Each structure stands twice: as structure tokens, then as C-alpha cells.
């Protein structure tokens, strides 16, 4: 599905082309809606899905709001409009996040980059959980995005020491290489709103 051919086939009329793309796009929308109820894929209704919904809405008639928003409706009668709607459908179908596999691949890439950059060993599932739980926003609000990532990297790097400190309820002696980061790590460990244990 990820390599779906979005080009018009020889002998395929514009309307048939539209219907083929729209039907495939709608199947993906349904799969993303199902995926959004599964662990690690709550973001399935963001990214490509959210863009598709926005594009579908712009083709609705005033006051029209169907129960399910889908591409495969009566094609626009004006050829220019039809080509424009086909372009919207192609944008969705060629987006990596229009499939569950594409979402997984993006998580894996982000995790690989994070692990390489900060010397951590997170799995893509751990990172997915971190972003889906709203933890990312909390950390970024406390430290800013770059510092948050570096602090999380340090916490995971020293996880055995930190696990022991949490068990002993003594987190005041956790020191890391950089003095500024060390203070930030201390702040994070003392902050009850941050879920440290999910990072260990």
C-alpha cells in the first residue's frame, strides 16, 4: 500500500481515475481511524489524516457535514475542480503518515536520531508512548525542547543510578557530566508532574 501508484493509468478516464484514488484514500482513512484506538497509534488522526479531513471539508457544500468525512463523493463537475480534488487525494496518499506502517517508520526514524544524538537506547514504542502521553509537552514547557531532550538523554544514560536513587528516595546526589545539565536533571527528578519512571 505504501508504494501505491497515484498516476493516471493509460486509457483511464479522469472520473475513473478520481474514483480509484478516492476509494483507496477512504480505505486508508478507515484504517487510520481504527489505528487511533490502538496503543502507540493515537496520533493516527493527526498529520496526514488531519490534513485529509481539512481538504475534504473544503469540497463540502455549505451546511453539509456528513457523519463520516470521505473523499469518494460525487466528483466536481468542473474539470479544474476535479483535478484540484485529485491533487488533494494524491497529497494524502503520498504522505508517509497515511498508513500505520508509515507512522511506525517515522517513530523509528525519530527514535534512531534521538538515540544516536543523546546516547540513549529507547525503543520506538517507548518514544511513541512519550509523545502520545503528553509528556513531551510537559518536559518542553519546563525546559524548552532542546534542553528537555538532553535531560531525558542524561536520565536514560544514568538510569541504573537513578533507579537506585528513586528506590532509596534520595535523588540529591545524581550528577551528570555537564553542570548545567546536572541541575536540570535534579529539577526533573524532583518534579512530580514529570513521569521519570517511563524513561528508565
Task: Say yes or no: 30 and 47 in one domain.
Answer: yes
Q: Is residue 115 part of a domain?
A: yes
C-alpha grid cell, residue 80 = 479544474
Task: Say yes or no: 113 and 182 in one domain.
Answer: yes
Q: Are 132 and 42 in contact (CB under 8 A)?
A: yes
C-alpha grid cell, residue 123 = 525503543
* Model pLDDT, residue 1: 43
Last residue of a domain, one of 99, 128, 154: 99
* Model pLDDT, residue 180: 52
Task: Say yes or no: 88 and 115 in one domain.
Answer: no
Query: How many domains does one find in the chain?
Result: 2
Q: Over the chain, what is the mean pLDDT? A: 84
Last residue of a domain, one of 52, 84, 99: 99
Task: Say yes or no: 77 and 63 in one domain.
Answer: yes
Q: Are 58 and 122 in contact (CB under 8 A)?
A: no
Q: How many CB atoms lie within 10 A of CB 63?
A: 5
User: What is the per-residue pLDDT across 95-113, written as a single tens digit (0 to 9) for each?
Assistant: 999 999 999 999 999 889 8
Q: Is residue 9 part of a domain?
A: no
Task: Say yes or no: 125 and 136 in one domain.
Answer: yes
Task: Say yes or no: 44 and 126 in one domain.
Answer: no
Q: What range does the domain containing 123 cover?
A: 102-199
Q: What is the 3-state secondary structure (H, E, C) of 140-166?
A: HHHHCHHHHHHHHHHHHHCHHHHHHHH
Task: Say yes or no: 60 and 113 in one domain.
Answer: no
Quote the radius of gyration of the chain (alpha carbons, Å): 23
User: What is the per-residue pLDDT across 16-47, written as a single tens digit (0 to 9) for each?
Assistant: 999 999 999 999 999 999 999 999 998 899 99
Indicate the DSSP class of residue 198. Answer: G
Q: Is residue 184 part of a domain?
A: yes
CA-CA-CA-CA torsion sign (151, 156, 159, 161): negative
pTM given for the model: 0.75
- Distance in angstroms (rounded) separating the CA atoms of residues 198 and 130: 8
Amino acid at each position: 500500500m505504501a508504494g501505491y501508484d497515484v498516476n493516471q493509468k493509460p486509457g483511464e478516464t479522469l472520473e475513473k481515475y478520481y474514483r480509484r484514488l478516492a476509494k483507496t484514500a477512504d480505505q486508508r482513512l478507515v484504517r487510520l481511524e481504527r489505528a487511533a484506538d490502538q496503543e502507540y497509534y493515537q496520533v493516527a488522526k493527526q498529520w496526514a489524516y488531519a490534513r485529509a479531513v481539512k481538504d475534504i471539508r473544503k469540497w463540502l457544500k455549505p451546511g453539509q457535514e456528513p457523519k463520516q468525512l470521505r473523499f469518494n463523493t460525487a466528483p466536481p463537475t468542473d474539470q479544474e475542480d476535479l483535478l484540484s480534488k485529485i491533487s488533494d487525494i494524491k497529497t494524502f496518499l503520498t504522505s508517509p503518515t497515511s498508513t500505520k506502517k508509515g507512522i511506525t517508520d517515522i517513530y523509528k526514524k525519530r527514535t534512531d536520531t534521538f538515540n544516536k544524538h543523546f546516547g540513549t537506547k529507547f525503543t520506538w514504542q517507548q518514544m511513541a508512548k512519550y509523545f502520545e502521553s503528553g509528556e513531551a509537552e510537559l518536559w518542553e514547557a519546563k525546559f524548552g525542547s532542546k534542553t528537555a531532550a538532553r535531560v531525558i538523554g542524561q536520565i536514560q544514560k544514568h538510569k541504573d543510578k537513578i533507579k537506585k536513587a528513586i528506590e532509596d528516595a534520595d535523588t540529591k546526589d545524581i550528577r551528570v557530566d555537564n553542570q548545567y545539565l546536572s541541575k536540570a536533571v535534579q529539577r526533573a527528578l524532583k518534579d512530580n508532574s514529570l513521569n521519570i519512571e517511563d524513561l528508565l
